[in-house]
Amino acid sequence: MKSIVKTTAAVAALVLGAGGAVAQDFPVRPINMIVPFNAGGGTDLLLRAFAPHFAEAVGGDAFVSNMAGGSGTVAAAALAGQKPDGYQMGYWSVTVATVQPQIKDIPYGLDSWTPICSVAASPTVLFTQADSPFKTVDDVVAAVKANPGKYIYGSSGPGAITHLTTVAAFSGLGVIDQMKHLPFQGSGPAMQAMAAGTIQFFGDTELLMTRGDFRPLVVFNNERLSSMPDVPTAAEVGIAAPLNELYLWGGLFAPAGLEPAVTQKLSAACEMAINSDGFQKFAADTSTVLNYRNAADFDPFYRAQYAANSALIDAAGL
Amino acid sequence: MIASLPEALGLIFTFEGLLVLSLGTMLGIILGALPGIGSTVAVAMILPFTLSMSQAPAILLLLAIHAGSVYGGSISAILINTPGTPQSAATCLDGYPMAQRGEAGKALGWATVASVIGGLASAVVLIFAAPQLAAFALNFGPIETFALILLGLTCIVSVSEGSLIKGLMAGFMGLFLSTVGGDPITGEARFTFGHFQLIAGFDLLAVVIGVFALSEVLTRAAASPEDIKPLVAFNGIVLPKLSEWKGRVKGLVKSVLIGNGIGVLPGTGAATAAFIAYAEARRSAPTRANFGKGEPDGLIASESANNAVTGGALVPTMALGIPGDAITAVMLATLTLHGVTPGIRLMSDNPVLMAAIFAGFFVINLMLLPLGMVVSRMAAPILRIKEAYMLVMISLLCTVGVFFVRGNPFDLLVMAVAGIIGFILRRQGYPMAPLVIGMVLGPTLEISLRQGLIITDGSFSAFFVGHPIAGVLAVIAVGMLALPVIRVIKDRQVSA
């Protein structure tokens, strides 16, 4: 019995010792990269394509694990309480990191993380059916004002980026109180409802919009997109800050309190992985818009997004 | 579509194509038969292997896994009363009693042939009518979906073995369980009682595996030595003779149509289709009195319907580029990885690839028959293992499977509690199928009802004005509920 206790203590000491190892030795163990959604989804595929290049760049091993549920919050809540040793990171989207903790009572928030790097970011677009009578945002505002309560905007769920996009648009245009919101379970059913005419407006990334017969009305970016130069930005149609820019972004987060030297190492590995030929090819094949920010830039960006989205959440009434 | 078929067949009938199809189908059957590993998990597990393949084989492999797993679930449902996947929960109802009677081989024979016919029919529909069906599915808005799910709920009445009251109570329990977690309209957390883990709700698979598989293990473990029923004897599939199909063809056709129709609609799935087809067969089949006691017609209904869904679900996916469920979403993601843009132009931009997918789907369903016989033959020796080891093995598989779905240890707790509660309830004579129906249909029922109320500004009576499809479905639902009552009254009049 005594020897078991001794062995346990020795093993524990070893493990703790390894955890507290200095940054030069990092990593000595495989790094767990957590996808907060089911295997096979968009985030899962992205991280699985990213992981091997990241492992090579950091000079160690990395593996991807999935923990799904609660719009990504189950995984984030599980990671938030963990020891910040750099061996566990999650890939959080804008909604997991900045929206969900502000609308739900969940055990993590603004200060739960050490942001490592951003990987991808796409501006969102408000769109309508291609054969709809609305050609411009002005048409929409006039129609809504003439028929309050008649028009419906959809979303893939309350608090999702699709919801925030429509809220930013109609709240920014001052007509949100004269419209109805219809949440669906995912973008698929919502886009089907748009094709059926149940909803008239939907907002998502450009990538998703190009999959159907849709007409873009306004883009939530700081400048017009080269792929659709005729579509005005939100600022141009009179949507004021902070509602005028909205991005679906995602990046790597470790629990708060990670040693700066380890953060640096992970952040640099992230950059190398993003610039690797293999990951660049993946991004090109899947039309993923890459957007690298290092740890020093990503931290203020994340905090600013947290604050900006709180205005959106208020407008959405969540 | 048809014009591209010759070129598409050239893609399938290659060494690689046929190898992928047969290995994929076989693997799918095995994964589906293992309790706890549902179709979604099976497809997600295989996805990484498709990355190095070319476009057509990659998608065909996933399709083969999907179709195989839906069929495979019936093997464990029939042989050990443990549905491998939620969609074969209805298969247990008549499949296991048949097996207990010593007709396991025959039960699997019916299930196999029904699955093959359901799958083949849905492949034909897919090849010839995908765009038209996709257009028709657009008629199903929230209000129509609500009426359909209402009709689905009436199945509870027909699968309530023994006591209708107990069946209804189990059904409502299932409905209630489905409301735990995030509110689909406002996003608020409901019924979590401050426990953060409940924010994601109860995982359907964890509950299904708990109340069916784990409670079965407990029931067997708790039985006194003299009461223990031996594990079923099984020596391979016995295909039904042609003469035995007499009087069953009409039910088969109806179930295939139900499966196809429900597969096309968003927000439903194979489990819903299997239960609705089962309930309809139980209402209309000439053999309805034997349902629940091991009636082949019940097996035929659920197995042909759930396999018909696999083809139906591809209709919106391929024709509109909109995924109908988690599995078709994975397939679309795979297409993206191979540089094919999913979306409304998917079929017109990639006619050969789409034709290859549809034709390959047909071939997969043809292969189900021989491969199903091979795999269940492999399962036969497993059933001769000593019962105690068998129960441990089932518990272990359930644990692994349930953990794999979401990677959340909390789901294991849910499974264990569901198993214990299921064990107690079954001892008290509560049927478990209604509970599963409630949980499967609950989320869609709620969101379609609340979406409908948003559209009609809170007026429920407006649901059936100007929505003829919804009206018809609601009338049928009321009829389904009234039918047992009418029968009871008639019986009384006859005896009086």
Residue B342: its chain A contacts at CB < 8 A? 211
Domain ranges of chain A: 2-18+26-120+248-316, 123-219
Q: CA–CA separation, B84 vs B73, rounded Å?
A: 4
Superfamily per CATH, domain A2-18+26-120+248-316? Bordetella uptake gene, domain 1 (3.40.190.150)
A68 to chain B, closest Cα gap in Å: 5
Domain A123-219 class?
Answer: alpha beta
- What is the rounded average pLDDT of the residues A18-31? 73
B96 to A131, B208, B435: CA distances (angstroms): 53, 16, 18
pLDDT of residue A14: 46
Q: By the CB < 8 Å criterion, does A29 face chain B? A: no
Q: Are strands B189-190 and B181-182 parallel, antiparallel or unpaired?
A: antiparallel
pLDDT of residue B390: 84
Q: What pTM did the predictor assign?
A: 0.85
- A contact residues 133-152, partner B, Cβ 8 Å cutoff: 149, 152
The answer on pLDDT for A8 being more than 70 is no
pLDDT confidence of B487, banded at 50, 70, 90? confident
Mean pLDDT of chain B: 87
pLDDT confidence of A16, banded at 50, 70, 90? very low
- Chain mean position to CA B71: 9
Q: By the CB < 8 Å criterion, does A66 face chain B? A: yes
pLDDT confidence of B485, banded at 50, 70, 90? confident
ipTM of the complex: 0.83
- What is the rounded average pLDDT of the residues B252-280? 87
- What is the rounded average pLDDT of the residues B393-415? 87
pLDDT of residue A13: 46
pLDDT tens string B405-464:
788 889 999 999 999 999 999 999 998 889 988 998 899 899 999 999 999 998 888 888
Cβ contact (<8 Å) for B199 and A69?
A: yes
Cβ contact (<8 Å) for B337 and A68?
A: no
pLDDT of residue A18: 46
The answer on pLDDT for A32 being more than 90 is yes
For chain B, how many structural domains are there in total? 1
pLDDT of residue A134: 95
Q: Number of CB pairs < 8 Å for A and B? A: 150
pLDDT of residue A22: 57
Q: CA–CA separation, B360 vs B166, rounded Å?
A: 45
Q: By the CB < 8 Å criterion, does A39 face chain B? A: yes
Cβ contact (<8 Å) for B201 and A189?
A: no
B188 to chain A, closest Cα gap in Å: 6
Cβ contact (<8 Å) for B138 and A103?
A: no
List the domain range (segments joined by +) for residue B452.
5-495
Residue B183: its chain A contacts at CB < 8 A? 158
Mean pLDDT of chain A: 89
The answer on pLDDT for B256 being more than 90 is yes
Cβ contact (<8 Å) for B333 and A159?
A: no
pLDDT tens string B316-344:
888 877 776 778 888 888 888 787 877 77
3-state secondary structure chain B: CCCCHHHHHHHHCCHHHHHHHHHHHHHHHHHHHCCCCCHHHHHHHHHHHHCCCCHHHHHHHHHHHHHHHHHHHHHHHHHHCCCCCHHHHHHHHHHHHHHHHHHHHHHHHHHHHHHHHHHHHHHHHHHHHHHHHHHHHCCCCHHHHHHHHHHHHCHHHHHCCCCHHHHHHHHHHHHHHHHCEECCCCCCEECCCCCHHHHHCCCHHHHHHHHHHHHHHHHHHHCCCCCCCCCCCCCCCCCCCHHHHCCCHHHHHHHHHHHHHHHHCCCCCHHHHHHHHHHHHHHHCCCHHHCCCCCHHHHHHHHHHHHHHHHHCHHHHHHCCCCCCHHHHHHHHHHHHCCCCCCCCHHHHCHHHHHHHHHHHHHHHHHHHHHHHHHHHHHHHHCCCCHHHHHHHHHHHHHHHHHHHHCCHHHHHHHHHHHHHHHHHHHCCCCCHHHHHHHHHHHHHHHHHHHHHHHCCCCCHHHHCCCHHHHHHHHHHHHHHHHHHHHHHHHHHHHC
pLDDT confidence of A277, banded at 50, 70, 90? very high
Is the separation of the CB atoms in A189 and A196 below 8 Å? no
Equal fold, A2-18+26-120+248-316 vs A123-219: yes
pLDDT of residue A203: 93
- A contact residues 190-209, partner B, Cβ 8 Å cutoff: 191-193, 195-196, 198
A173 to chain B, closest Cα gap in Å: 22
Residue B44: its chain A contacts at CB < 8 A? 38-40, 44
A221 to chain B, closest Cα gap in Å: 24
Q: By the CB < 8 Å criterion, does A313 face chain B? A: no
Residue A192: its chain B contacts at CB < 8 A? 137-138, 266, 316, 320, 322
Residue B408: its chain A contacts at CB < 8 A? 67-69, 74
pLDDT confidence of A182, banded at 50, 70, 90? very high
